[in-house]
Amino acid sequence: MEPLGGGGWTGHAGAPAPGWTYLLPLLLCAALRSLLASPSSEVNLLDSRTVMGDLGWIAYPKNGWEEIGEVDENYAPIHTYQVCKVMEQNQNNWLLTSWISNEGASRIFIELKFTLRDCNSLPGGLGTCKETFNMYYFESDDEDGRNIKENQYIKIDTIAADESFTELDLGDRVMKLNTEVRDVGPLTKKGFYLAFQDVGACIALVSVRVYYKKCPSVIRNLARFPDTITGADSSQLLEVSGICVDHSVTDEAPKMHCSAEGEWLVPIGKCLCKAGYEEKNNTCQVCRPGFFKASPHSPSCSKCPPHSYTLDEASTSCLCEEHYFRKESDPPTMACTTPSPVSSVKKGKITKNSISLSWQEPDRPNGIILEYEIKYFEKDQEMSYTIIKSKETTITADSLKPGSAYVFQIRARTAAGYGGFSRRFEFETSPVLAASSDQSQIPIIVVSVTVGVILLAVVIGFLLSGRRCGYSKAKQDPEEEKMHFHNGHIKLPGVRTYIDPHTYEDPNQAVHEFAKEIEASCITIERVIGAGEFGEVCSGRLKLQGKRELPVAIKTLKVGYTEKQRRDFLGEASIMGQFDHPNIIHLEGVVTKNKPVMIVTEYMENGSLDTFLKKNDGQFTVIQLVGMLRGIASGMKYLSDMGYVHRDLAARNILINSNLVCKVSDFGLSRVLEDDPEAAYTTRGGKIPIRWTALEAIAFRKFTSASDVWSYGIVMWEVMSYGERPYWEMTNQDVIKAVEEGYRLPSPMDCPAALYQLMLDCWQKDRNSRPKFDEIVSMLDKLIRNPSSLKTLVNASSRVSNLLVEHSPVGSSTYRSVGEWLEAIKMGRYTEIFMENGYSSMDAVAQVTIEDLRRLGVTLVGHQKKIMNSLQEMKVQLVNGMMPL
């Protein structure tokens, strides 16, 4: 082979082939331009159509390939090369491009547009005519590598015409424009030459385009991915990291993959517009004044919530307007509000000259309360008022007139300013005992002297007695105790109210105000009877000097307690110690000076009522049960008169002694109800024993004596059903839903209608419609006095007919036989009798009535109940099984 000649090829070398013109009409050129527009993922390294001047290509031999100087519709030159030596033997015509830089691409593509004449259409020459040509390349770092030998070129492919391409009708001839694309790679040098070899065909090479492919710069998921040249390998995916756009932050590192075809694939991760910016059209736009975005994860800028504003762009939160506030813990989406007013104010100690008050921090104080402002004035004297400021939730208003009504209002101040004043609370100072104020000192002095003498005598007696068992505070006469233990102020009957131990700055002061200190040596612990929240509960004996020995229950505070646990533990004593009623558990005293710290109460032989009733199922007369209920109601009346709301009234918190006297207990200070296993957290965060609690207390913590009445109704139900669990195994959520929808527990078995009616009254939705405890006591008294009124029972059939849907939560089908069912409820002894009397299937058993049971010889009331209750449970779909009101 000859080397390719040096010297540039220009102009027309050789003559056009006879009978056929290669001049392409302008029409063809225009069509080509539109056809050849390259996609954005392709980057041209050479496009012969766009080169204005000399292409610098070389033809060898000179009479082989020749350039036809054409112009397009804009008169721009088109470089078209043609060769048509079809009549001559042994053709070897080379057309060599100039050096093409690969611009860093390691795989390049060559697109050829050409026409190739069909040899059949040529007159003669068929013997030498060819219909293909060859394409070669040669890599080189610079332009000096052109004068190499033909055999140093590497063949890319033999190119043949492909008829599937555009056909252009040129009058009487059909000329086919072919497009062929070939790729080459991996390339290792900076550039290359291409060469086209003709071996005797009739070709017009209309255009040569050389390009590489890239994945074009793109923004996806708020990350910018740069132009990326595809890999050398046709199946290679290049992993590319994205860069977060302005004002955005990485959520998860953004990545995409660039395919060999120049397509972005498989996006991973993303960026998010940072706080104060929101996404719009793949960019992060600033939040306008009046809008904010608190976190990158918020989707867009939001308008400032009510009573807040921002004057700045890119705000991440809004400022509260003057006098409005938001807690630090509140989310920035929360509206700013003013502090909420103080709502619950309780009177504490009242003397003839002073009134002590306590109140609870507002539910939503909207920030740290800096202080309270208490405004008060004598009733009807509003013009002349006094203001006291306090950081505590208690105050004592002094220098008041005896026997006069005063009006109090309280408001809280936070950093946002003052909240609204509470409603007016009216309290009255104690009247003076003596007829005239001048003489009023005399009886007090007399009383004081008398008390002083008594106290002295007691102290001397105590010292002389060698300090044996006894209270460390000598308190003999209850009246005297009251006088002395309320700072010397005479406390009149009727004004006694419960004082929340929380109102004492020092809880130890409260416990010693209301509970007697007992010498530990006076107590003998005998055995453990239960487990309390703070430690074991034991039974034992208390022997105080000069008194007979008493059986007592001793609650202990476990070792390793915290100061708060000690305070809460003794808090119960501070509460209990204020009560004195036969149906309230009686506090004997406390041991605080020795360890373990103890609370000593009267001993209740039968323990808690729910367990006791379950143990003695069906064993009591209705009158006995009503007697228990009467006791509980009486204790509750006393508590409500004292202004004490129990909040956890339930049979488990009633203790019963050997005389079946029931007493209310469980006065935990950490109410609500950390220690009650029945208490569940509500959506509002508090812990509430749902099944025992009135709707309004569950919904918005409206705990009142009226909500205690609701709980009392549940206790009635527990008692009359011998410790059955209210609402059985329904979930708390279902209980709330059913009760809200108006359903109520059905009557317990054999329950006097009057008692069930009373229960329903206690469960009135409107709390004001519920009976008061004194009315309940009177009603029960009436029933006890007139036992025949208890004879009318809730009709068993009406009970059942009130059940809306009959379906079994346990499912009669879950018992395969009558025997299995009776065994499961521990009534297996009756299996034979049931079978003998035709109750051999669960379907038959479902029809059993209490009369049937009696006829079968099931005479024990407890057993009758057990069987009927089990049948009831199987029949009743629990939610719908309750009574709709």
Of 610, 648, 666, 708, catalytic: 648
Q: How far apart are the first and last CA of the chain?
A: 112
CA angle, residues 738, 742, 746, in degrees to nearest 5 = 75
Give every CB contact of residue 797 below 8 A, 6+ residues apart in sequence.
none
Min CB(701)–ligand AMP separation in Å: 23
Assess contact for 356 and 324: CB atoms under 8 A. Answer: no
Which residue type does 224 have? R
Q: Indicate whether 607 belongs to the interface with ligand AMP (CB under 6 A).
A: yes
Rounded distance, CA 844 to CA 784, Å? 39
Task: Give me 404's structure tokens.
Answer: 């006069």
- As a three-state string, the secondary structure of 259-298 is CCCCCEEEEEEEEEECCCEEEECCEEEECCCCEECCCCCC
Q: Look up tokens 């000259």; give the residue.
A: 353
Residue 653: helix, strand or coil by DSSP? helix
**Crossing angle between the packed helical segments 705-720 and 622-642, to the nearest 10 degrees:** 170
Beta bridge partners of 518: 471
Q: Which stretch binds ligand AMP (CB under 6 A): 277-285, 416-424, 528-536, 726-734?
A: 528-536
Q: In this chain, which of 119, 249, 529, 796 binds ligand AMP, going by CB under 6 A?
A: 529
Tell whether 528 is in a known binding site. Answer: no
Q: Look up tokens 């910016």; give the residue.
A: 277
Q: Indicate whether 470 belongs to the interface with ligand AMP (CB under 6 A).
A: no
Q: Which stretch binds ligand AMP (CB under 6 A): 142-150, 377-385, 529-537, 835-843?
A: 529-537
Q: Which stretch binds ligand AMP (CB under 6 A): 357-365, 394-402, 439-447, 600-608?
A: 600-608
Q: In this chain, which of 469, 537, 550, 660 binds ligand AMP, going by CB under 6 A?
A: 537
Rounded distance, CA 318 to CA 309, Å? 5
Assess contact for 308 and 318: CB atoms under 8 A. Answer: yes
Peptide bond into 61 cis (omega under 30): yes
- Residues 549-568 touching ligand AMP, rule: CB under 6 A, are 553
Rounded distance, CA 401 to CA 157, Å? 118
- Residues 482-521 touching ligand AMP, rule: CB under 6 A, are none
Min CB(588)–ligand AMP separation in Å: 10
R_g of the chain, CA atoms, integer Å: 50
Q: In this chain, which of 185, 532, 577, 635 binds ligand AMP, going by CB under 6 A?
A: 532
The pair phi, psi for residue 146, each rounded to 5°, is: -75, -35
Min CB(575)–ligand AMP separation in Å: 12
Site string for ligand AMP, 608-647 (x = CB under 6 A): x---------------------------------------
Tell whether 7 is in a known binding site. Answer: no
Q: Indicate whether 530 belongs to the interface with ligand AMP (CB under 6 A).
A: yes
Beta bridge partners of 587: 601
Q: Indicate whether 661 belongs to the interface with ligand AMP (CB under 6 A).
A: no
Q: Indicate whether 225 belongs to the interface with ligand AMP (CB under 6 A).
A: no
Min CB(578)–ligand AMP separation in Å: 17
Min CB(342)–ligand AMP separation in Å: 32
Min CB(606)–ligand AMP separation in Å: 8
Min CB(810)–ligand AMP separation in Å: 28
Task: Give me 140's structure tokens.
Answer: 């080189």
Tell whether 67 is in a known binding site. Answer: no
Q: In this chain, which of 212, 225, 603, 743 binds ligand AMP, going by CB under 6 A?
A: 603
Q: Indicate whether 666 belongs to the interface with ligand AMP (CB under 6 A).
A: yes
Q: Indicate whether 8 belongs to the interface with ligand AMP (CB under 6 A).
A: no
Rounded distance, CA 631 to CA 777, Å? 8
Tell whether 232 is in a known binding site. Answer: no
Tell whether 531 is in a known binding site. Answer: yes
Q: Which stretch binds ligand AMP (CB under 6 A): 268-276, 331-339, 526-534, 846-854?
A: 526-534
Q: Give the nearer residue to ligand AMP in terms of CB position, either 592 or 665.
A: 665
Q: Which stretch binds ligand AMP (CB under 6 A): 221-229, 524-532, 562-570, 693-701?
A: 524-532
Which residue type does 271 have? C
Q: Give the nearer residue to ligand AMP in terms of CB position, either 31 or 537.
A: 537
Q: Give the nearer residue to ligand AMP in terms of CB position, either 196 or 638.
A: 638
Rounded distance, CA 271 to CA 216, Å? 20
Min CB(658)–ligand AMP separation in Å: 11
Rounded distance, CA 557 to CA 597, Å? 5
Size of residue set near ligand AMP by CB under 6 A:
15
Residue 763: helix, strand or coil by DSSP? coil
Min CB(529)–ligand AMP separation in Å: 5
Assess contact for 517 and 534: CB atoms under 8 A. Answer: no
Beta bridge partners of 203: 83, 116
Task: Give me 400's structure tokens.
Answer: 């008041």
Task: Give me 380's structure tokens.
Answer: 């009807």
Tell whether 532 is in a known binding site. Answer: yes
Alpha carbon dihedral 283, 285, 291, 294, in 10-degree steps, equals: 60
144 belongs to the catalytic site? no
Rounded distance, CA 225 to CA 439, Å? 98
Min CB(780)–ligand AMP separation in Å: 24
Q: Which stretch binds ligand AMP (CB under 6 A): 310-318, 427-435, 452-460, 532-540?
A: 532-540
- Alpha-carbon torsion (782, 787, 788, 794), positive or negative: positive
Rounded distance, CA 738 to CA 494, Å? 41
Q: Give the nearer residue to ligand AMP in terms of CB position, either 323 or 614.
A: 614
Q: In this chain, which of 338, 601, 764, 870 binds ligand AMP, going by CB under 6 A?
A: 601
Q: Which stretch binds ligand AMP (CB under 6 A): 23-31, 148-156, 503-511, 527-535?
A: 527-535
Q: Please give the residue whose beta carbon sits closest to ligand AMP in the complex.
A: 530
- C-alpha distances out from residue 880 to 98, 762, 764, 807, Å: 93, 20, 18, 9
Tell whether 529 is in a known binding site. Answer: yes
Q: Give the nearer residue to ligand AMP in terms of CB position, either 518 or 776.
A: 518
Q: What is the DSSP letter of 502?
A: G
| Cβ neighbours, 10 Å, residue 793 | 17
Min CB(607)–ligand AMP separation in Å: 4
- Alpha-carbon torsion (658, 659, 660, 665), positive or negative: negative
Q: Give the nearer residue to ligand AMP in terms of CB position, either 296 or 551.
A: 551
Q: Indicate whether 655 belongs to the interface with ligand AMP (CB under 6 A).
A: yes
Q: Indicate whether 525 belongs to the interface with ligand AMP (CB under 6 A).
A: no
Nearest to 66 by CA among 16, 125, 137, 3: 16
Task: Give me 130's structure tokens.
Answer: 């060819």
- Residues 579-598 touching ligand AMP, rule: CB under 6 A, are 585
Q: Give the nearer residue to ligand AMP in terms of CB position, either 139 or 605.
A: 605
Q: In this chain, which of 178, 409, 503, 665 binds ligand AMP, going by CB under 6 A?
A: 665
Interface residues toward ligand AMP, by CB under 6 A: 529-530, 532-533, 537, 553, 585, 601, 603-604, 607-608, 655, 665-666
Which sequence positions are flagged as catalytic? Answer: 648
Binding site as annotated, residues: 529-537, 555
Binding site as annotated, residues for ATP: 529-537, 555
